[in-house]
Amino acid sequence: MQCPVLAVDAQRPAAEAIARAAEILRSGGLVAFPTETVYGLGANALDANAVAKIFVAKGRPATNPIIVHVATIDDANNLVSVWPSIAQRLAERFWPGPLTLVLPRAACVPDAVTAGGPTLGIRMPAHPVAHALLQACRLPIAAPSANRSTELSPTLPGHVLAGLGDRIELLLDSGPTAGGIESTVLDLTTNPPRLLRPGLATIGEIEAEIGPIDRGPSDARIARSPGQMRRHYAPNTPIEVVTKSKARVAELTEQGLRVGWMTHMDGERLAAVKITLPSDAIGYAAQMYAALHQLDDASLDRIIVEMPPEGDDWLAIHDRLHRACVGA
Ligand code: TXA
Ligand code: MG
């Protein structure tokens, strides 16, 4: 059975809808809600039983820790055992916004949230609906992306319903999420800080604030973030990311395959379902998951993606596309 869906204005969410969602969270239930990155699957972060429901709903391995969302810097402070000056500086620069800080956890944080580990990932989301919900429930909200484990992240309410509609108590629907790709995860327990997951806040922006960070080789990055399985963010349709996508699409189409084509470059159509994304990183990120969802739902044999440009601004996009291809 599908969960109830409450439409809420993205800028001025109605208090009644927010109050209903907050009540579900306070009583230990699961609510999906929009953030400025992707939709999140929220539970009371201080209630181990509620957090356990997130793992069941997503089919998420217990080894993968969950990001906690807070309304204020003080709330963040209360959930960690140290709040170094670099955290203060980053929080003042990036919060509310798409930067998750990893710090030593406080004793009040249930093991389920941190996957039993010594650290906690924490961020203050910028979306007005997320913010209103945090204020109304007066709780820290544990929230991974609102998709089944390893699958594509949800940027539209329909994505949430397709994956989790029968496993949650409520969806707050405020349309597409603007950012489209997840937060950047930065480990502040090492010196210099280490990038665990590239995301919407770019390395350039972070380094402009605190100087050079450890970008790590991508495999080391993944090993360090315990729950980060390599295959992730993946459609069900086999996917390839290639530099000469037009030729590859033509080749597969000639073989009789039904091909989906995602590119950021102009050019003529082939006998394929083609989606052209913006050629700037912010625009591309905003639409990437929705395009992949659309192609994945189109009963195709293969999805071919034109390799995006290089450069720091494209790092998170490369990371997600790379993982989407693993095991495909
Ligand atoms: O934008 C986002 O970050 C979204 C929205 C809902 O806030 N959330 C999100 O959560 O993407 P999730 O669970 O899908 O991805 C969180 C990533 C995972 O790869 C997890 O391993 C890592 O962050 N992570 C969380 N806590 C961590 C910790 N204490 N140490 C290392 N990695 C952590
Ligand atoms: Mg996720």
- For residues 151 and 163, is the Cβ–Cβ distance under 8 A? yes
The pocket around ligand 1, CB under 6 angstroms, is made up of 35, 37-38, 40, 64-67, 98, 100, 102, 114, 117, 119-121, 143-145, 182-183, 185, 196-197, 225, 227-228
Cα(162)–Cα(2) distance, integer angstroms: 9
Q: pLDDT-derived band of residue 138, with 50, 70 and 90 as boundaries?
A: very high
Q: What tokens were used for 161?
A: 């319903």
The two beta strands, 302-306 and 239-242, are parallel
pLDDT at 80 over 60: yes
Centre of ligand 1 from the C-alpha of residue 142, in Å:
10
**By alpha-carbon position, which residue is closest to atom 10 of ligand 1?**
144
Provide the CB-side half-sphere exposure for 64 (13 A, CA).
18
Mean predicted confidence (pLDDT) in 30-58: 98
What are the φ and ψ backbone dihedral angles of 157, each rounded to 5 degrees? Answer: -55, -35
User: For the segment 277-313, what is each residue's pLDDT rounded down to a tens digit?
Assistant: 999 999 999 999 999 999 999 999 999 999 999 999 9
Cα(95)–Cα(189) distance, integer angstroms: 19
Sorted by where each starts, the structural domains of the chain and their CATH numbers stand as: 5-210 (3.90.870.10), 239-325 (3.40.50.11030)
User: For the segment 181-193, what is each residue's pLDDT rounded down to a tens digit?
Assistant: 999 999 999 999 9
Centre of ligand 1 from the C-alpha of residue 260, in Å:
29
Q: Which residues are within 5 Å of ligand 2 (an ion), measured at CB?
A: 145
Q: Ligand 1 pocket check: which of 182, 222, 233, 289 to mutate, most ligand atoms within 8 Å of Cβ?
A: 182
Start-to-end CA distance of the chain, whole Å, equals: 31
What are the φ and ψ backbone dihedral angles of 281, each rounded to 5 degrees? Answer: -65, -40
Q: Ligand 1 pocket check: which of 225, 230, 319 to mutate, most ligand atoms within 8 Å of Cβ?
A: 225
- For residues 262 and 305, is the Cβ–Cβ distance under 8 A? yes
This prediction has a pTM of 0.95
